[in-house]
Every structure is written in C-alpha cells, then in structure tokens.
Amino acid sequence: MPYQLRGAERFFDRPEVRKAGIALRGAARFGGNDALLDDAPDLPSQVRAVLSGEGWTPQPPAGSGAVRERWESLAALVHLAQDFAAARPGATLADLVAELDERAGAQHAPTVQGVTLASLHSAKGLEWDVVFLVGVAEGMMPITYAKTDEQIEEERRLLYVGVTRARERLHLSWALSRSPGSRPNRRPSRFLDGLRPGSTAAAGRGGTVGAGGVERGPAATVSAPAAPGPRRRQRSPARCRVCGRTLTDAGEMKLMRCEDCPTDMDEGLYERLRDWRAGQAERSGQPAFCVFTDKTLMAIAETVPDEEHALARIPGWGCASWAATGLMFWPSAQVAPSKRTEA
C-alpha cells in the first residue's frame, strides 16, 4: 500500500526527487534539443516524458518496497504538474521548475496518493476524510511518563487533536497484548471510558475527547481489538464515592469523587502529609510533586485509610509506594502535629 510519512524524511530531499528535479531543470533549459519533448504538446505530457527516463511509468509497479516508493514520489510530481497546468494555462516547464524550487524552499511537498502516517504532534493543523488512531491503550495514551495531573491533561488534549483530524470517519483501536501470543495485559485508554460499546456513558469534562471525535463524523466508530485472544475481565469504571457518577478526569479519579461534591477532608492530616512530603522531597533532591501530587494527599486525608491495603488502594499511591515509604510515613503522619499549625 502506498504511503507517505508526515514529519519524517523531507519530500524534496529524497534521492529520486532530487534527480527528477535535475532532469526537469535540464529539460527546461535545453528543451528545444530534447527529442523526448518533440511529441509532448503540453506541460503535463512534457513532465511525463522527462520523468519516464527517471523510472516513472503510467502504471505503478507490482508489489511494494523501495521501487514502489520511488514511483510514488515521481507520480506525485506528475500530479503536481497536472494541477499546476490546470491552474496556470500556458505555463511552461521553466515555470514548473520555479514552482518546485519555491516549494522545496518552503518544504511544501505535493500530495502522494496513499496513506499518510503521522504522529499526533505532526498531524496538527491537518485533516483527512478517514482517520485511524492505533495504540489507544493505557501506557501509550496517556504515555507512562505522564505522572502529574498537568501531564495527564496534556495527553488528553493531544488525543483530542487526533480525533478532530477526521472529517467523516474515525476509528480507534488498541492491542490486547504487546506481541502476538503473549499474555493479554493491556487495557483501553482511560480517555475512552464512556465511548466504548458497553461502557458507561461519559459525563462532565471526561467526555470532551469523545464528543469532539463523534461530532465531527456521525459514522465515527470506536473499533474493538481485531486480534483474537482470551477474554479478560473488564475493569469497572471509577465512580464518585459521593454521587456515584463515572469519573474520567485524572484528578477526580485520584480523589475518588467529583470536584464539586462535598468533602470531609481531615485538614490537620492533610497538613501533616504535606510536611512529610516536603521532607521526602528534600532528602531525595526532587520537587515535592514528584513524591506525591496534592490530589493524592487530599485523597488520603479524605478517606483516612488505617491499614496498609487500604492505603495501597489510593490512586497514585500503590504497593510500590507503600513498600518504599509507607511504613515509615503512616504512623508519624497520623500522630505528629503539623508544623504549619503549631504556631
């Protein structure tokens, strides 16, 4: 299948394109002495005649690989010549060469007839009739390096960029496992909660990404994983412990409640947790939010877990965090007075 990479190799830097440019420039300069152009009455036929000497043929070569990719590059130049001649009747080969030079300077490449492969970042500002977003799984969207609430929200905005690239149809997919035959241990991105068939409808801020994608294409679908595999238990969506609403926002999921729902947070415990976090950050030489976010500390101060397994259930804490810091932190956090309240 023909394809082009967006944001990868520059079109005008490809060897076959550079050679084609040299051939076109030579034909424009010495066209009167070129037998290839004798039977070429117009600009498109002249370009086809010149590029036939570089490997272009009216029909694409069979198969794929480097030969097909070179042909696609030359075919893009042929299509560009046709469009250029239609927009500027009477244009000469020299005019086209000047247009190519201008495009090369601005890296304004012609469109290749094929699939465009692009990252979410390089797709900004572009649109296609049909868009496939692959790998929409936890660990990839959001990426595992996104730890803070701000980083998670930036990942959410990036996904929104992706879903709004589709004019008519949008397909979202993910893999059950890292490689074929391996244990299925992956799950769809949390950003898709409420959008997938059978999942709870999204509400509040968490529905923004899905709504944007669906509104842009009435036929937009969220595709199920194509690869067969053992059935796995579907993880229940996070729900507000106060009102029961499905939670999709990262910050609300850490608090285990909606931002607007009432809270009975232990203010004294929250201050002691902040004191403890400041000490941990100073000893480790890293910012306080890298130890734990405010949302995680607020969740602890609201639920006041009294046992190891209860504390480990706090989003953002986890068993590893408990093993590293919990045993030396929890008794002192419960008992020690806050430095901010002593005065």
CA distance 81 to 88: 10
Cβ neighbours of residue 28 under 8 Å, at least 6 residues apart? 92, 93, 94, 96, 97
The DSSP line for 165-224 is TEEEEEEE---SSSSTTS-----B-GGGTTTSTTSPPP-GGGGHHHHHHHHH-TT-EEPP
pLDDT at 8 over 50: no
Mean pLDDT of 297-312: 71
Backbone dihedral angles phi then psi of residue 170, each to the nearest 5 degrees: -130, 130
Looking at the fold, whether 198 and 281 belong to one and the same domain comes out as no
CATH number for the domain spanning 184: value is 3.40.50.300
pLDDT at 318 over 70: no
Report pLDDT digits (tens) over 45-96. Answer: 989 989 988 888 888 777 656 787 788 889 889 988 988 888 888 888 899 9
Q: pLDDT: is 128 or 38 the higher one?
A: 128
> 142 preceded by cis ω (within 30°)?
yes
- DSSP 8-state assignment for residue 63: S
Looking at the fold, whether 81 and 156 belong to one and the same domain comes out as no
pLDDT at 204: 34
From 91, 113, 135, the end of a domain falls on 113
pLDDT at 132: 92
From 188, 222, 256, the end of a domain falls on 222
Most confident of the ranges 2-11, 45-54, 208-217 = 45-54
From 164, 193, 222, the end of a domain falls on 222
Q: Could you tell me if residue 227 is inside a domain?
A: no
The DSSP line for 236-305 is PPPB-TTT-PBP-SHHHHHHTS-TTS-----HHHHHHHHHHHHHHHHHHTS-HHHH--HHHHHHHHHH--
pLDDT at 322: 43
pLDDT bucket at 209, cuts 50 / 70 / 90: very low
CATH number for the domain spanning 274: value is 1.10.150.80
Report pLDDT digits (tens) over 147-180. Answer: 888 888 888 888 888 889 888 898 988 888 766 6
Looking at the fold, whether 187 and 272 belong to one and the same domain comes out as no
Both tokens assigned to 124: 């900004």
* Of the listed ranges 64-73, 119-128, 272-281, 300-309, the one predicted with least confidence: 300-309
Both tokens assigned to 144: 């595992």
In a 13 Å sphere around the CA of 152, the CA atoms on its Cβ side amount to: 18
pLDDT at 311: 64
Cβ neighbours of residue 238 under 8 Å, at least 6 residues apart? 246, 247, 248, 253, 256, 315
Q: Could you tell me if residue 144 is inside a domain?
A: yes
Looking at the fold, whether 39 and 102 belong to one and the same domain comes out as yes
Looking at the fold, whether 105 and 155 belong to one and the same domain comes out as no
Cβ neighbours of residue 260 under 8 Å, at least 6 residues apart? none
Looking at the fold, whether 207 and 125 belong to one and the same domain comes out as yes
Looking at the fold, whether 128 and 57 belong to one and the same domain comes out as no
Q: Could you tell me if residue 262 is inside a domain?
A: no
Q: Could you tell me if residue 50 is inside a domain?
A: yes
Backbone dihedral angles phi then psi of residue 125, each to the nearest 5 degrees: 85, -5
CA distance 113 to 101: 22
Q: Could you tell me if residue 161 is inside a domain?
A: yes
Domain that holds residue 173: 118-222
Structural domains counted in the chain: 3
Residues constituting the chain: 343
Looking at the fold, whether 207 and 284 belong to one and the same domain comes out as no
Other C-beta atoms lying within 10 Å of the C-beta of residue 191: 27
* Of the listed ranges 36-50, 115-129, 152-166, 326-340, the one predicted with least confidence: 326-340
Looking at the fold, whether 108 and 178 belong to one and the same domain comes out as no
Q: Could you tell me if residue 261 is inside a domain?
A: no
Looking at the fold, whether 107 and 124 belong to one and the same domain comes out as no
Q: Could you tell me if residue 229 is inside a domain?
A: no
Q: Which helix (H) or strand (E) holds 329?
A: helix 327-335
Most confident of the ranges 83-97, 106-120, 201-215 = 83-97
Looking at the fold, whether 73 and 171 belong to one and the same domain comes out as no
Looking at the fold, whether 305 and 330 belong to one and the same domain comes out as yes
Q: Could you tell me if residue 333 is inside a domain?
A: yes
Q: Strands 115-117 and 166-172, how do they pair?
A: unpaired
